[in-house]
Structure formats: C-alpha cells, structure tokens
Amino acid sequence: MKYKLIMKRTTIANIWDPKLINTQVSVKGWVRTRRGNKHVQFVALNDGSTIKNIQIVFDMEKFSDEDLKGITTGASLHVIGQLVESQGKGQTEEIQAEKLEIYGTANPEEYPLQKKGHTLEFLREKAHLRPRTNTFGAVLRIRHTLAFAIHKFFNERGFFYLNTPLITSSDCEGAGAMFQVTTLDLNNLPKTEDNKVNYAEDFFGKPASLTVSGQLEGELGATALGAIYTFGPTFRAENSNTPRHLSEFWMVEPEVAFNDIKDNMDLAEEFIKYCINYALENAKDDIEFLASMYDKDLIERLKFVVENEFIRLPYTEGIKILEESGHKFDYPVYWGADLQSEHERFLVEEHFKKPVILTDYPKEIKAFYMKQNEDGKTVRAMDVLFPKIGEIIGGSEREESYEKLLARIEELGIPMKDMWWYLDTRKFGTVPHSGFGLGFERLVLFVTGMTNIRDVIPFPRTPNNCEF
Ligand code: ATP
Ligand code: MN
C-alpha cells in the first residue's frame, strides 16, 4: 500500500511514450469496456485526457473473479502494472495489471451509458454524463483547443482581453430579445402611482438584463487600449428552436481602433483560418475520430477553408445572384430582405463553393451603430458565411461621426438615457474603428462537424431546456 502512494499517476495522453515501455506505470480512469475469458480479462480504460483508451490486461492467475467484480462499464479504477508492447491487434501498448484499486462501481442496471452507440438525441437527455462518451470527450477537447487558439491569436497580435459586463441596463444593444434580471418578488411587485412596476425598488434601481453582446463596451476599450477582444457568455431570449441557436452562447468580439472595413475583413479571415488550423494541428486525434464517426469530408472541408481565399461580395450583388439562380427558396429574395440561412448557404455551398464575406447591407436590416455609406442606403456591415453553418461572424465598421450617429439613434427612437455614455466615444477623440462578433459555438460546430449546436456546448440552454 505504501508503494502505491509514492507511484505517480501517468495520464493516458502521456502513456504513449517509448521511454515508458517496460516500466511500471500507474493509471487512473473510467472503464469503457470489459471482455475476456476465465484465463485473461481485458479492460479498456479512459481518463478523458485523450480519445485513446489504454488496454489493461488481468491475468486471472493473479486476480480472482471477486477482485474484478466491480469492473463494469463506468466504474473508476486505479491500476498499477507493467507497460508492454501489445500482443493483440488494435492497440500498440497495454498494461499488465499488478495492483488494482476500485474507486467507485457503476451499477450496470442503472448506468445510462452501459451500452455503446447511443444517439446524440438520447445523450442530450443525459447531458450530465455525456462527456464520458468518445464523441463528447472529443468535442469538449476540441472546444478547449479552439478557446486556447483564440486567446493565443489575439495575444500574439497585441490585443487585450477585455471583460465586459454580463448584466446591463441598456436594452438597446439591438442584437435580440433580452432576459430580465431582477430581485423583485414577482408575486408581489411594487407599483408606481400609474400602476407600472416600480423599478426604483429593484436591485439596480432600474430595469436590468443579461447582455446580448459585449460590443458597445468593447468599443470603449478599443478607443482606449487600441485593440481589444471579449470572449464571454451572451444571452438571447429569442424563441428560435434551430440547430444553430442557443439561449446562452459564447461570443468572441474583437474591436480595433483605426481599422476600416477592409482591415476588419482581413482580421476576420486571418483569425478564423488561424483557429481552424490550430485545431487541425493540435486536436488531430479528436477531429479524426469525429470525421470517422460522423462526417467523412470533415478534414477536407477544414483544410479547404484554411487554404482558400474567402469571396468578398456586396449584399446587392449577392441578392442579384440569388434572384437569377432560379433556385426555389422557402423565404423570398428581394433587395432589402434579411438573408436566411438557406440563402447564405446557397451562395457558399452552391454558387461560390467557398466561404463568403457579404458586405454593405441595407441599413434597415442592420444595427444603428454601423457606418453609413455615401449611397444613403447601405452600411459598412460584413457577415462571414460558412458552409454548413451560414453566418458565423457578423461585424462592421462603426459610425464614428457624432452627428450621424446621433441622427440615426433619434431616427430609430432609441432612448438617450441608455446611450449617452456610448456617444461620449464619438464626442471625445473619436476615431474610425471596426469589429466583429464570432459565435464560438458556431466555430466549434464547423470544426467538429457536428450538426446541432446543442452538441458542442457542455450544458446547452434552449427554450424549455435548463436542466443540468
Ligand atoms: P443569426 O442571424 O444567425 O440569428 P445574428 O445576426 O442575430 O445571428 P449577431 O448579433 O450578428 O447574430 O451575433 C454575432 C454572431 O453570434 C453570429 O454571427 C453568430 O455566429 C453568433 N450567434 C448569434 N446568435 C446566436 C445564438 N442564438 N446562438 C449561438 N450563436 C449565435
Ligand atoms: Mn449577424
């Protein structure tokens, strides 16, 4: 027993090391499968550090059936033994067990992941345990790798990570319906004289919500630090039950002083290629696993995006292409229409067969802060459209003129009480600047080849779903 305590654990990711062959190792993890006969038992052990399992071999002359009774799928073990080159097919190395400690059993009658091959839908109902499957282990490791790549990309380029608030009192962020934040007793609301809710008695003394975007505060950062990015959760209360929308999702929002729309497009293209390439190089085993299970073209598609220039095209020309395509769409196409995913995917998958950056959208369908073009009709917006996904990035050059921005705010009837601090950026030392928002889960969707956004976040929040 004493000997056990001084032996250092090796993670399974680190076990495939030629220097460890024919030495004694200590591993800990969860049982994936067990098989064998009365002479020898084989256990596939996984500890989450890698998609690969290590095979543990129990010589039944050294262990009794009783010793191994608790070893069923899902049980947690500590094994000490000799790491040797495997005699069997299918794995290169295995551990010949010498000592066994069972941390916790998993009753086969009850453990939900007892059998292999569950559907993704079934696993969504078991979101608390699904990280123990090969698929979700791979997705979550890739998600981590992409998050790390994002910080690395910006850090290498002198951007500062800015943390913008999750609770906000402005309801004009303009990107979607908001969740209200309150400590008022909903069964006993304080009322004003004209029978409205008296928010003066609420926690912040006024209505508050969860943020839908960190951009407006990001602009304050960029016009002080030069180049910033946010990377945090955002919340949207829209009832959109699609495979691409979550109620709580993570957004990456760089914002750069002195960048125009062209610089912004260059940054977006370089950024997204960097992240995909980083995942290809650093999460290879996991991407290969998902490709083999779900999507044979995945790796080719990822490499294609990294290696090819994105198409850059004004909205007006995009509409022309869609109108002249003769293709039947569910939603009508006309100048002024907000593009649906089917339109975006037609341009990317059918027409250009490349990612597309669509620019210069009609001002009516875009946010108030976007820089107005000379034509008086369009704004300097840019959406990056991806195969299988549709919109993955939305961004723009921002309106830096105080007068024009104020005029647009008044035209749209946005309450000034919410906007004075934002307008100050244009009043004091205003500069041209640009930025964009990348939906992190849409990037993870693209890189993993998963088809439902609920399968690329550990704990998905969607309408009527807030269990785990
Ligand atoms: P969509 O048209 O797809 O609903 P949007 O135009 O409302 O998106 P933006 O406000 O431009 O989205 O947000 C920036 C990015 O955040 C989008 O390009 C997308 O990648 C991502 N995103 C937006 N809404 C969601 C959501 N509900 N769930 C996950 N990601 C989202
Ligand atoms: Mn958008």
**pLDDT tens, 10-32?**
999 999 999 999 999 999 999 99
**pLDDT tens, 196-209?**
999 999 999 999 99
Give residue 170's pLDDT band: very low, low, confident or very high (50, 70, 90): confident
Question: Of all residues in the chain, what percent carry a pLDDT higher than 90?
Answer: 91
**From the CA of 272, which ligand is nearest?**
1
4 pLDDT higher than 60:
no
Q: Whose CA is nearest to atom 2 of ligand 1?
A: 391
Measured from the Cα of 175, ligand 1's closest atom is 10
Cα 121 to ligand 1 centre (Å): 23
Question: How much is the pLDDT for 70?
Answer: 97
How far is Cα 57 from Cα 259, in angstroms, rounded to an integer? 60
**pLDDT tens, 376-429?**
999 999 999 999 999 999 999 999 999 999 999 999 988 877 789 999 999 999
Question: How much is the pLDDT for 172?
Answer: 62
Cα 42 to ligand 2 centre (Å): 52
Mean pLDDT, all residues of the chain:
95
Question: How much is the pLDDT for 240?
Answer: 81
HSE at residue 369, side-chain half, CA atoms within 13 A, is 23
**pLDDT tens, 276-308?**
999 999 999 999 999 999 999 999 999 999 999
Enumerate residues lining ligand 1, CB below 6 A: 175-176, 236, 245-246, 249, 251, 391-394, 437, 439, 441-442
C-beta separation of 99 from 116 below 8 A: no
Residue type at 369 in one-letter notation: Y
How far is Cα 257 from Cα 460, in angstroms, rounded to an integer? 34
**pLDDT tens, 319-366?**
999 999 999 999 999 999 999 999 999 999 999 999 999 999 999 999
Question: How much is the pLDDT for 1?
Answer: 45
Cα 62 to ligand 1 centre (Å): 59
User: Ligand 1 test: best mutation among 244, 341, 361, 452, most atoms within 8 Å of CB?
Assistant: 244
How far is Cα 123 from Cα 106, in angstroms, rounded to an integer? 18
187 pLDDT higher than 80:
yes
Give residue 5's pLDDT band: very low, low, confident or very high (50, 70, 90): very low
The pTM assigned to this predicted structure is 0.96
Quote the longest CA-to-CA distance of the chain. Answer: 86
Question: How much is the pLDDT for 7?
Answer: 79
Q: Whose CA is nearest to atom 19 of ligand 1?
A: 439
How distant is the alpha carbon of residue 93 from its chain centre? 34
Cα 394 to ligand 2 centre (Å): 4
Strand partners, 385: 356, 391
Q: Whose CA is nearest to atom 27 of ligand 1?
A: 245
SS (H, E, C) the chain: CHHHHHCCECCHHHCCCHHHCCCEEEEEEEEEEEEECCCEEEEEEECCCCCCCEEEEEECCCCCCCCCCCCCCCCEEEEEEEEEECCCCCCCEEEEEEEEEEEECCCCCCCCCCCCCCCHHHHHHCCCCHHHCHHHHHHHHHHHHHHHHHHHHHHHCCCEECCCCCEECCCCCCCCCCCEECCCCCCCCCECCCCCECHHHCCCCCCEEECCCCHHHHHHHHHHHCEEEEEEEEECCCCCCCCCCCCEEEEEEEEEECCCHHHHHHHHHHHHHHHHHHHHHHCHHHHHHHHHHHCCCHHHHHHHHHHCCCEEEEHHHHHHHHHHCCCCCCCCCCCCCCCCHHHHHHHHHHHHCCCEEEEEEEHHHCCCCECECCCCCEEEEEEEEECCCEEEEEEEEECCCHHHHHHHHHHCCCCHHHCHHHHHHHHCCCCCEEEEEEEHHHHHHHHHCCCCHHHCCCCCCECCECCC
CA dihedral 41, 46, 51, 57 (to 10 degrees): -20
Question: Of all residues in the chain, what percent carry a pLDDT higher than 70?
Answer: 97
CA distances from 97 to 24, 39, 78, 80, 450 (A): 10, 14, 10, 6, 37
Question: How much is the pLDDT for 115?
Answer: 85
Residue among 69, 141, 137 at smallest CA distance from 105: 69
Mean pLDDT calculated for residue range 77-90: 90
Please state whether 301 falls in left (phi above 0), alpha (psi between -120 and 50) or beta: alpha
**From the CA of 390, which ligand is nearest?**
1
Question: How much is the pLDDT for 235?
Answer: 96
Q: Which token pair is 171?
A: 């309801």
**pLDDT tens, 217-270?**
999 999 999 999 999 999 999 888 899 999 999 999 999 999 999 999 999 999
Q: Whose CA is nearest to atom 30 of ligand 1?
A: 439
C-beta separation of 402 from 430 below 8 A: yes
